[in-house]
């Protein structure tokens, strides 16, 4: 039985493939679904053999629609994530792609308003912001989630932060 690939995941794969072959950014396709026309932040995660291979996204929309966010963030995940060497064409067939469409971040008053399975977290101190998606393997507590988000933002562990939460629709 073949598994149906969600159109957003297919779009991410096509965008990466086109960029790796031609160096060109895929044009936004015609006939977008209502969801693809909406405006949300989007993260595109790449895994190879179960290990993270790239993950780039936007907290809030930076383009006109979800489809464009997916195209740009998929390319960035593949070739601009500073933690990894750029993805090669030969690797692409072994890469598993997931797309997270984010709800708008909302401020929270305390850690008790968070849940690491249900909500992603954004920490903010001055101009520094760090984000961690929800329901990540190996991140079992809100405290771990906040600690990782702070580290990503360059915020020391005991520094006070403003907290925000968001939910995602995750497509694989």
| Range(s) of the chain covered by CATH 3.30.700.20 | 7-102
What totals of helices (H) and strands (E) does the chain contain, helices first?
Answer: 5, 8
- CATH code: domain 106-171 is 3.30.1490.150
Q: What is the pLDDT of residue 148?
A: 96
48, two tokens = 């190879």
Pairing of strands 120-125, 128-132: antiparallel
Specify the pLDDT at position 65. Answer: 98
Domain with CATH 3.30.1490.150 in the chain: 106-171
Tell me which residue of 101, 74, 78 sits closest to 11, measured CA to CA: 74
Residue 1 has what pLDDT?
57
How is residue 113 annotated by DSSP?
Answer: G
Report which of 55, 57, 56, 60 is spatially closest to residue 40, judged by C-alpha positions.
60
Report d(CA 45, CA 134) in Å as an integer.
Answer: 13
pTM of the model: 0.93
Predicted local distance difference test score (pLDDT) of residue 3: 72
Provide the token pair at 152.
């990503």
CATH topology of domain 7-102: Glycoprotein, Type 4 Pilin (3.30.700)
Q: Which tens digits make up the pLDDT trace of 76-108?
A: 999 999 999 999 999 999 999 999 999 999 999
pLDDT in 10s for each residue of the chain, 172 residues: 567 899 999 999 999 999 999 999 999 999 999 999 999 999 999 999 999 999 999 999 999 999 999 999 999 999 999 999 999 999 999 999 999 999 999 999 999 999 999 999 999 999 999 999 999 999 999 999 999 999 999 999 899 999 999 999 999 9
Summarize pLDDT for 123-139 with one digit per residue, the tens.
999 999 999 999 999 99
């Amino acid at each position: 039985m073949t598994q149906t690939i969600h159109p957003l995941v297919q779009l991410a794969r096509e965008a990466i493939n086109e960029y790796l072959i031609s160096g060109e950014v895929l044009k936004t396709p015609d006939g977008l679904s209502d969801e693809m026309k909406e405006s949300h932040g989007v993260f595109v995660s790449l895994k190879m053999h179960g290990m993270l291979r790239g993950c780039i996204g936007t907290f809030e929309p930076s383009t006109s629609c979800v489809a464009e966010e997916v195209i740009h963030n998929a390319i960035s995940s593949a070739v601009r994530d500073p933690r990894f060497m750029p993805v090669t064409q030969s690797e692409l067939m072994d890469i598993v792609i997931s797309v997270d469409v984010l709800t708008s971040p909302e401020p929270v008053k305390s850690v008790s308003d968070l849940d690491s399975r249900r909500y992603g977290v954004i920490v903010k101190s001055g101009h520094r912001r760090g984000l961690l998606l929800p329901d990540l393997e190996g991140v079992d507590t809100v405290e771990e989630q906040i600690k990782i988000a702070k580290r990503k933002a360059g915020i020391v562990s005991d520094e006070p932060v403003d907290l925000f939460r968001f939910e995602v629709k995750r497509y694989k």
